[in-house]
Chain A
Amino acid sequence: MTRSFIALLLIAVLLALVPFMMDDFFINLCSQILCYALFAVSLNLIVGYGGMTSLGHAAYFGIAAYAVTWLHTVAGWDHLTSAIGAVGVATGTAAVFGVLALRASGLSFLMITLALGQIVWGVAYRWVALTQGDNGMRFPQRPAPFGIDINGAMSFYYFSLIVFAVSVYVIWRVVNSPFGASLRGARDQPRRMRMLGHDVWMIRWAAFVMSGFWAAVAGLLFVYYQKFVSPYAVSLQQSAEVLLMTILGGASTLTGPMVGAIIVTLVKNVASTYVERWNALLGLIFVLAVVFMPTGLVPGFRRLISRKKPAAAPADETATPPAAAPERAS
């Protein structure tokens, strides 16, 4: 309790002080990282805790971004209603897609999520009347929650930080709840879970929908930050990028995807100042991560520490089982 609590407090203070230590460029970068970190944590609900690898998660992220833009600029709704409506649309899509994708498991699940994601991409790209196609849509003005202006880099960072912290807290609660335990159980031994009376399908579907919901919240942050959304937001590249963050950092831990988001976003931003294209680098990191760090950075690092101090493994950390390399029985 005490040690992890102190660590958490330290991180919170550090995060709160970020704007005082950096210039606008880096503050914006940090806002971007928070958005992607939430996106990756949302995906990790199904990938890490649920054992369901999705290659179409950008769909819910991007649908929320498109929907809030459309509702606000075309339909003329106010900011709050648009945001709620957009999250609703994206979560509803996740509910329907979840029913379809969960017809299968394992790699077939992955293929179906990819195909479903491509449908969304096809709509974003081709249905020009709705989405303005390749040109993308502009989101003219950030909202002003409680009348507070968040157009500046610093104020937007704090806005993102609050949304991020609240979201991650809720996800943390879910992961540690009885439902979270059932979700991990369904990942490791689906057959046994059924025989224990659990509704494995419903557990997975609920996790899928939740995962879509939080991806949608991240999508809102994204479009508020960029003030622009294009088909890239729902592309296979985007889905792959967020999956890379999750796997690179270490699925089945809460912090892993955040670390992955930090690394990938930094590399992407640094790389884009030197090379024109990011895709080859993304692909390369993907290959290296899978071949050399199959369980990800955070679990690997944790194993390293616990090997030095075998007694230090905190017993209360149910959210992040040490060395949880689940044998995925599906």
Chain B
Amino acid sequence: MQFWLIQTLNSIAFGGLLFLLSSGFSLIFGLMRMPNLAHGAFFMLGAYFGATFMNWGANFWIAALLSGLAVGVLGVILERGLLRKLAGNAQGQVLVTLGVSFIIADVCLMVWTGDPVPVPAPQWARPPMFLMGYAFPTYRLVVLVIAVIAAVLLYLLMERTRLGAMIRAGVDDMEMARGVGIRVSLLFMMVFMLGAALAGLGGTIGGPIMQAYPGLDADMLPLALVVVILGGVGSLMGAFVGSFAVGFIYNFGTALFPDFAYVILFLPMVAVLVLMPEGLFAGSRQ
């Protein structure tokens, strides 16, 4: 019983992390029509930044916000410096993000070495919680709460603000958005920054669970891909549902069939592709 409870909680917490990662990935994909293959690297960078900021004496939350900010700025530099030069060449943009992800990964290896860097959870969240006689890892609950807060804030941003309305318009129909006078290039920058910042924040938040280690980027990127393939491009709701679905599949897969966790993870994606390719890719086909 304890096993199932804990695994369920782990899955939910991991799903929350995935949401922080893939909501930005999905929005960028939906708006700019390109998968940002540096997104896993952004997440990893967030984890390393978090650890470093805390080493310098920042508390956990400050460190998380600073990481988000730092990675967000990096995102802006990437978008303004490179991606914009390749406007209209989506394939070139994708390859550039891939190249950048390799550079980031290698620089991380140089700076933080090959050994995993632990990211400490906030002091108060370290001891387990006891509910109805079962011990729960407190921090996983914290992650869940953060993810839900982030989801609500993103929802409000998308549905209740001018920026959100512009993003939705751009995802639906770029030409129309341009036509009604939305400054698309500014919008791209802001969404890229938002997505990068969310990934960076997610990196620090996920740090206590996953640690920061070389290869974290390559582990996370495919998960974001699967979430988006399952949940649909540019859809917050899709990213939310997809994240928790993948969280469960990945966690239980790893716990029950460690050799095949990765394969199991991709099975739903394969099923979706076989059964309803049109529906899920309708937005990105063009």
Direct interface between A and B, CB < 8 A: yes
Q: Which chain B residues (238-286) contact chain A, with CB distance < 8 Å? A: 258-263, 265-266, 269-270, 273-274, 277, 281, 284-286
Q: 1/0 per position for B153-182, CB-CB distance to A under 8 A? A: 000000000000000000000000000000
In the complex, identify which listed stretch (B54-62, B99-107, B144-152) lies at the interface while the others stay far away.
Answer: B99-107
Residue of A nearest to B267 (CB): A119
Using A112-B229, A123-B262 as known contacts, say yes or no to A247 and B95 having CB atoms under 8 A apart.
yes
User: Could you say which of B33, B107, B228, B262 contacts A280, with CB atoms under 8 Å apart?
Assistant: B107
Interface hits, B29-77 → A, CB 8 Å = 33-35, 37
Using a Cβ cutoff of 8 Å, how many contacts connect chains A and B? 127
CA distance A101 to B285 in the complex (A): 13
Interface stretch (choices B85-93, B118-126, B196-204) = B85-93
Q: Does A283 contact B (CB under 8 A)?
A: yes
What is the predominant secondary structure among interface residues of chain A facing chain B? helix
Alpha-carbon separation in the docked complex, A290 to B37 (Å): 15
| Band of interface residues on B | 35 or more
Residue of B whose beta carbon sits closest to that of A105: B285
Residue in B85, B263, B286 whose CB lies within 8 Å of A123: B263
Report the bound CA distance from A121 to B215 in whole Å. Answer: 13
Q: Is A34 an interface residue (CB 8 A)?
A: no
Q: How far is the CB of B154 from chain A (nearest CB, A)?
A: 22
* Residue numbers in A under 8 Å from B260 (CB-CB): 123, 126-127
Complex CA gap A122/B263 in Å reads 7
* In the assembled complex, B109 has its CB within 8 A of some CB on chain A: yes
Does residue A128 face the partner (Cβ distance < 8 Å to B)?
yes
Binds A, one of B6-14, B135-143, B218-226: B218-226
Check B106–A55 contact: CB distance below 8 A.
no
Alpha-carbon distance A317/B85, docked complex (angstroms): 33
Task: Give chain A nearest CB distance to B107 CB in angstroms.
Answer: 6
A53 to B90, CA, bound (A): 12
Which residues of chain A are within 8 angstroms of B107 by Cβ–Cβ distance?
280
Q: Are B33 and A291 in contact (CB under 8 A)?
A: no
Chain A residues within 8 Å of B34, by CB: 107
Say yes or no for B96: interface residue by CB 8 A criterion: yes
Out of B92, B266, B284, B285, which one reaches A118, CB within 8 Å? B266
Q: Are B261 and A277 in contact (CB under 8 A)?
A: no
B110 within 8 A of A: yes
How close is A7's CB to chain B, nearest CB, in angstroms?
Answer: 31
Task: Write the nearest CB–CB distance from B222 to chain A, whole angstroms.
Answer: 4
A115 at the B interface (CB under 8 A):
yes
- Asked whether any CB of chain B lies closer than 8 Å to the CB of A6, the reply is no
- Report the separation of the CA atoms of residues A237 and B33 in the bound assembly, to the nearest whole angstrom: 23
Given contacts A115-B266, A126-B259, contact A108 B99 (CB under 8 A): no
Is there contact, CB below 8 Å, between B277 and A290? no
CB-CB under 8 A from A107, the residues of chain B are 33-35, 90-91, 94, 284
Checking B37, B90, B106, B258 against A277 with a beta-carbon cut-off of 8 angstroms, the contacting residue is: B106
Q: Closest approach, in angstroms, between the C-beta of B34 and any C-beta of chain A?
A: 6
Which residue on chain B has the smallest CB distance to residue A243? B95
Residues of A within 8 A of B101 (CB): 283
Residue contact A286 to B102, C-beta cutoff 8 Å: yes
- Which residues of chain A are within 8 angstroms of B98 by Cβ–Cβ distance? 55, 240, 283, 286
The answer to whether B105 touches A119, judged by C-beta atoms less than 8 angstroms apart, is no
Q: Please, what's the 1-or-0 string for A52-80, where 1 marks a CB less than 8 Å from any CB in chain B?
A: 01010000000000000000000000000
Q: Check if A294 sits within 8 Å of B89, measured CB to CB.
A: yes
State in angstroms the CA–CA spacing of A118 and B37 once bound together.
14
Residues of A within 8 A of B286 (CB): 106
Residue A193 is within 8 A (CB to CB) of chain B in the complex: no
With beta carbons under 8 angstroms apart, the residue of A122, A282, A285 that contacts B262 is A122
B281 lies within 8 A of A119 (CB): no
B237: Cβ under 8 A from any A Cβ: no
A104 to B284, CA, bound (A): 9
Closest to A96 in B: B270
Seed contacts A115-B225, A128-B259; 13 additional CB < 8 Å A-B pairs: A104-B285, A106-B284, A107-B33, A108-B284, A114-B222, A121-B262, A279-B106, A280-B102, A283-B106, A285-B99, A287-B82, A290-B92, A328-B91
Enumerate chain B interface residues (CB-CB to A < 8 A): 33-35, 37, 82, 85-86, 89-92, 94-96, 98-103, 105-107, 109-110, 218, 222, 225-226, 228-229, 258-263, 265-266, 269-270, 273-274, 277, 281, 284-286
> Which 3 pairs between the two chains have the least Cβ-Cβ distance?
A122-B262, A283-B102, A286-B99
Q: List 28 A-B contacts (CB under 8 A).
A: A53-B91, A55-B98, A100-B270, A100-B273, A103-B273, A103-B274, A104-B273, A104-B277, A104-B281, A105-B285, A108-B285, A110-B94, A114-B225, A115-B269, A119-B262, A121-B262, A122-B262, A123-B263, A125-B262, A126-B259, A240-B98, A247-B95, A279-B109, A283-B99, A283-B101, A286-B102, A290-B86, A290-B96
